[in-house]
Amino acid sequence: MKNSSRGEKNIIKNKSVRYFLAGLIAVVLLAVIFFAGFQFGDGKWHVGTHKPVSANKGLPENLDYTSVEEVYDALRNKFDGKLDEQKLITGLKKGLVEAAGDPYTVYLDKEQATSFNEQLNGSFSGIGAELGKDGANIVVISPIAGFPAEKAGLKSKDIVVSIDGQDTTGLSVDEAVKRIRGESGTSVKLGIVRDNQKQELTITREVITIPSVETKMLDGNICYIRITRFAEDTPGLVKKAADDCKAKNTKGIVLDMRGNPGGYLNGAVDVSSTWLKEGQTVLQEKRDGKVIQSFEAKSSGILNGIPTVVLVNEGSASASEITAGALKDNKAATVVGVTSYGKGSVQEFSAFSSGSVLKVTVARWFTPAGKNIDKEGIDPNVKVELTEADAKAGNDTQLNKALEILKQQ
């Protein structure tokens, strides 16, 4: 995406800022792999050069901290306990950022930032689910297929009200993740609310390693491609799958992105381009109400013109929504399932000399038809529910509808 080498005094040398779609944070992968709808590229932070948003031009260049000092003096003189200076400073920074009122604008201290960066590059012990925020509630975005959270019965949109008996009220997503993570083989007990009914699930942690793409041929010479997340290797794996499908003269494609929490923005653009014609719009990025960048297919894709059905559900977020929206708006595919999660904001990283990081919402993204899906999601062309009873019975009603549509084309 946009990369700038312009330095600032409070930015780590050779570090930088990159964008990511807030497909995830507050959407945090408990696996814990943070492929959370972002653009991260080579793993370095890059400094952004955005102009100030017009709505904030009236703010002073520097804040008056007189009232903050008054609170500090009262706390220092009256608190019955030992205060930690560094924790107080970190608390000030976190509070400042949280005051923006945006769950995707987050300050990470050095420990959190280090953990975040490490998690981008490997697999970790966890339960295999993504968490988000819905108002004050910690909610499940999507359990990842085949891993402990799903096996234990955790569902998308479950509200997590307790972790090992401790109330989650007031917890940030990062704090909830920290409590849920742990050594492989140990267990965590989640109190959840689903359909106004409270229940408890005990989930055994394990090392989570998620393949981003799987493909197979279905009856009728239909090629099935499933993308579980948009990782660095996803475009290459999708290209290989597309080449294989093309070589087998497939009659149609099912692109399954159900439960896909998102990932690298460039991955979404590259994958979408597999089905598009050169020059067709994948998405637009807007800041301050104005388009600042458009992403287009750079060449005609190998699967362009082949009948395709995209499967989405309420756990499809961020980069998967970009792909579904691009193919739907360009009439390159029929979207089947239920309305997706609805993540449409772009974050930028700023890394500071202390080792801490600020993730701040800098823009919004829109589908080719100009729809901002934030909090609305991508609506399917054909709505098909997959009930819990059907899922337990192995009756994939959404996939069945996709195959039915393809056989008619």
The conformation of residue 232, written as its DSSP 8-state character, comes to: T
Active site amino acids: 318, 329, 343
b (16+ CB within 10 A) / e for 36-54: bbbbbbeebbbbbeeeeee
Residue pair 168/162 in contact by the 8 Å Cβ criterion: yes
**CB neighbour class for 300 (10 Å; exposed up to 12, middle 13-18, buried from 19):** middle
* Rounded CA separation 62/246 (Å): 59
User: Is 281 in contact with 330 (CB distance < 8 Å)?
Assistant: yes
Where helices occur in 226-340 by DSSP H, the ranges are 234-247, 265-273, 319-329
What are the respective helix, strand and coil percentages of the chain, to the nearest 5? 25, 30, 45
Report the Cα 256 to chain-centroid distance in Å.
17
Tokens of 59: 């703010």
Q: How far apart are CA 306 and CA 323, in angstroms?
A: 16
Q: Is 245 helix (H, G, I), strand (E, B) or coil?
A: helix
Contact 129, 151 (CB under 8 A): no
- Picking from 267, 256, 324, 210, the residue whose alpha carbon sits closest to that of residue 37 is 267
CA distances from 217 to 70, 223, 324, 397 (A): 68, 5, 21, 18
Among 291, 314, 282, CA closest to 364: 291
Which amino acid, one-letter code, is at 192?
I
